[in-house]
A and B are shown apart, each in its own frame.
Chain A
Amino acid sequence: MTIYSEQQAKAILDKAIQASKADGCTASLGGSNNGNIRYALNSVSTSGLVSECDLAVEVSFGKRTGTATTNRFDDASIEAVVRRAEELARLAPENPEFMPPIDKQSYRASPTFNANSAAVTPQYRASVAAACIEPCRKDKLTAAGFFSDGHSFTATANSKGNFGYQQSSGMDFTCTVRTDDGKGSGWVARNLADVAQFDAKSEIRTAIDKAKRSVDARALEPGKYTVIMEPAATAGLISFMMFNFDARQADEGRSFLSKKGGGNKLGEKLFDERVTMIADPWDPAAAVLPWDQSGLARERTTLIDKGKINYLHYSRYWAQKQGKKAVGQPGNLIMLGGDKSTADLVKSTKKGVLVTRTWYIRMVDPQTVLLTGLTRDGTFYIEDGEIKYPIKNFRFNESPAIMLNNIEEIGKPVRVGDDESPFVMLIPPMKIRDFTFTSLSDAV
């Protein structure tokens, strides 16, 4: 068990801070219990439980810093880790961009902890796997999936008297169902704060249905199409774009948010006015810690306001240099939308393509955030408001900065997890015109 109480965590951090003889000291303690079960070919392949807990101590002498970590918390080990950090700091070269420990912050607790998700048992994990495998076995389908759950705590303190402590928990589920003849493939994903809201038996029906319906896909010519993107299909693109919301990169002229002639595009309208994106650590559907990795308190921030760039991240160093206020970097992305479901968006579509999932998204040109990737596990042609037939997967070359100018309709946001994104996201399904597919893929 590596989940320390607030009192226990504070005692450990205080010992570290007090042991330090450096000019500044920041100590962080984090621990987690992460469980998972993986299955493929209708059989469990691996399952595991990993418990970890680490204390990291960063100290500074002038502009020299050193960091050391330990997973032992007796007095002697805490003393030793502080001495080691100090030793490294003395050896380190001066960093001209050094920033001292942050001032005391005021953290308002956010609802990142859910008791149900912190109490998942091996039996429950096995039941998730069974709920997916059993109906597939009966239906000549093959399931491959992964369910993971985690319970963690994070605590931070520094020599200026700052302190924060909070627990988090949640779950993530993905499952791919393939027809035994290899001609059809469907996928479902669910990312939730509360495992009690999760019903594997019901979720798996989505993947099963898509697998069966995607058999014998027809080929459409690549080109520009109206697409209905399920939330998981755009999450990766939007997340990629948000990595570029950095003031320094923009000011240095190497971002799509750089301004010709110098400066950045803060305040400029770059997207359709229906695009509003906020970061809110306290949103109960997508809660994140009320501080970022540097310990700065997060605020509820409108990142994109009716299509206008309303926020760029200023690191502490860059904020100081530019005379700006540094605030905590967002941990979640909440895109506002309406009430319609993906199915509703399909109903209102004359001709279009339904995209379940996008895959292997990579930057092609950072100048325009041009991204490439492919559709996967359920791509369908829509006509007169109905899914008509499955179509072969496409490769796309599209910029989210262009995509968010081509919006026809926005649906109701849902919580989405993404393997390659650090953000907790609430993303709506979207109908987008002129989405650029550049080639066909034979992959099922």
Chain B
Amino acid sequence: MDRRDFLKLTGVGLGGLMLPAFAGRVIAAEELLSTLDVATKKKLADVALQAAKAAGAKYCDVRIGRYLRQFVITREDKVQNIVNTESTGIGIRVIAKGTWGFAATNELTADAVAKAAREAVAIAKANSVVQSKPVELAPVKGVGEVSWATPIVKNSMSVPIKDKVDLLLGVNADALKAGASFVNSMMFLINEQKYFASTDGSYIDQDVHRIWVPMNVTAVDQKSGKFRTRDGLSTPCGMGYEYLDGRKEDKVELPCGVTVYGNSYDMREDAIAAARQAKEKLVAPSVKPGKYDLVLDPSHTWLTIHESVGHPTELDRVLGYEANYAGTSFATLDKWKSKNFRWGSDKVTIYADKIAKGTLGAVGYDDEGVKTQQWDLIKDGILVNYQVIRDQAHILGLKASQGCCYADSWSSVQFQRMANVSLAPGKDKLAPAEMVKGIENGIYIVGDGSFSIDQQRYNAQFGGQLFFEIKNGKVTGPIEDVAYQIRTPEFWNSCAAVCDASDFRYGGSFFDGKGQPGQVSAVSHGSSTAHFTGVNVINTARSLG
């Protein structure tokens, strides 16, 4: 599905990072609950591994994937679309003559799989002619037959469509009742049933679940011709339907009066708040441009972390593999080698992980069979590491991959994708209310908005959903037309404080795009509320005459 198809489907721009491939056949809802038999998958995987070796592969990995998606899309009192899709097939990757080769097929028979394995080897051999250096794979010890599953409480796919429709239409009705002119709400559910096998001796069966419930509320003042929107404050996450329980203990009221959400989400409550706040935005005063201290809520900060830390620490960008499209990175190897490149202030420790419960990136093993883990990227402000996969580890002198390999489909080649990247909470006890007290002239930002960053990840500009002025230690009221511009190292060096772990929450991207042809991945970014000093804020209001 391209961008326009998606916009058509939803009727509204979502501000997601990239939109999903909409591949696969449409299926009935009950089929979303079935799985492929593990013994059958192992048999097919062994056929592929043997065929690849017989054809001359030194290494082979096999991914048998069943990718299930359910989308429910509504506006006001209407269900615009309900789609269930499934895509099943096998992707086979080999190293022959020191070169990667890949082939995939949706035909899950022994003959078709063996043929695809031989094709992958033939492609590797053909491409070896233009290969400058042979692939060097960091070793992985085979783990035998193992399994991993997202720790969900309630499988979203098992919840009847009617319940989902009732929830979304209820959300829409609540928003309209609270004064919204228009409302769009959606539910995106994903289940990746992935089986990985390799010549290292691993047979890994994984069952991965993700959920996202975006919402967009619009308030229109026809008289003035003005309109404002407020997106929902949910986060996409690696959870089951229990994320929509909206438990009391997961609600946080911020010093600016906004309720935000942690491990579960009250969508109906947020819809009512969104309608009220969208109307407030219509009349809120416009920001005076200049330097401000910023207090950034985790519902906002995730996107700043994603763009200005997550992407520039991807080693393939640093090396130049993404130069033609996504770009390179300012975080060059010499900066890392110097061991003293100051990315941020000493309050800034940023780590990567693929293990945190409830996150989009959490899996047991990555898509090349590496057990997942957590590691520091920036320690006390200094760049200390990158995100790597098996064929990159040797470049950093690492003995093992960190497990950052991912493919968005059985038919896509796996490559380096971002792990969860999060700002570690402050070590000292500090709550957002205390943080605000120390600020003379600031802006409190909640929710993610417009975002744009250059191809080396230096210059970025971010908007938000809700902005509040802070004067002399107090939140005075909402303001509008705010965007801030940063130069990445200066911005992170201006980090004056990060609240403690009790304030730690996640945000994330459900459809993060990378590569040519493009692939999507899902990734979470956690943080506690953070304070940045002297940030350049612009006014985004314009007049068309």
- Which residues of A does B touch, CB under 8 Å? 36, 38, 40-48, 50, 54, 56, 67-71, 84-85, 87-88, 91-93, 95-97, 126, 129-130, 142, 144-146, 148, 174-176, 178, 182, 243, 252-254, 256, 258-262, 270, 293, 359-368, 370, 372-374, 376, 393, 395, 397, 399, 401-402, 419-422, 438-444
Which of B56-64, B124-132, B291-299, B421-429 contacts its partner?
B124-132
Cβ of B222 under 8 Å from chain A: yes
Verify B461–A67 contact, CB threshold 8 A: no
A148 to chain B, nearest CB (A): 7
Verify A44–B544 contact, CB threshold 8 A: no
Verify A443–B454 contact, CB threshold 8 A: yes
Q: List 18 A-B contacts (CB under 8 A).
A: A40-B322, A41-B132, A43-B130, A68-B26, A88-B26, A93-B165, A144-B324, A146-B516, A182-B328, A252-B220, A254-B220, A293-B5, A363-B450, A395-B461, A399-B542, A422-B4, A439-B459, A441-B458
- CB nearest neighbor in A for B18: A420
- CB nearest neighbor in B for A362: B452
- Which residues of B does A touch, CB under 8 Å? 2-5, 7-8, 13, 15, 24-29, 77-80, 82-84, 100, 102, 106, 123, 127, 130-132, 161, 165, 181-182, 218, 220-229, 319-325, 327-328, 330, 332, 411, 413, 450-459, 461, 463, 481, 483, 485, 487, 516-518, 536, 538, 540-544
Verify B330–A442 contact, CB threshold 8 A: yes
Verify B26–A441 contact, CB threshold 8 A: no
On whether A176 and B324 interact (CB within 8 A), knowing A69-B25, A84-B28, A261-B223, the answer reads yes
On whether A38 and B516 interact (CB within 8 A), knowing A145-B324, A260-B225, A363-B13, the answer reads yes
- CB nearest neighbor in A for B480: A365
The CA of A96 and the CA of B74, in the complex, are separated in Å by: 12
Verify A142–B323 contact, CB threshold 8 A: yes
Verify B456–A442 contact, CB threshold 8 A: yes
Verify B132–A365 contact, CB threshold 8 A: no
Verify A444–B456 contact, CB threshold 8 A: yes
Verify A361–B323 contact, CB threshold 8 A: no
A167 to chain B, nearest CB (A): 20
Verify B455–A174 contact, CB threshold 8 A: no
B6 to chain A, nearest CB (A): 10
Verify B450–A364 contact, CB threshold 8 A: yes
On whether A420 and B485 interact (CB within 8 A), knowing A46-B413, A359-B455, the answer reads no
Quick one: which of B25, B131, B324, B459 has the most chain A CB within 10 A?
B324
Which of B4, B8, B24, B324 has a CB less than 8 Å from the CB of A146?
Answer: B324
Quick one: which of B2, B127, B225, B459 has the most chain A CB within 10 A?
B459
A415 to chain B, nearest CB (A): 19
B71 to chain A, nearest CB (A): 12
The CA of A41 and the CA of B461, in the complex, are separated in Å by: 29
B347 to chain A, nearest CB (A): 24
Verify A374–B459 contact, CB threshold 8 A: yes
B429 to chain A, nearest CB (A): 36
A235 to chain B, nearest CB (A): 14
Which of A43, A85, A368 has a CB less than 8 Å from the CB of B543?
Answer: A368
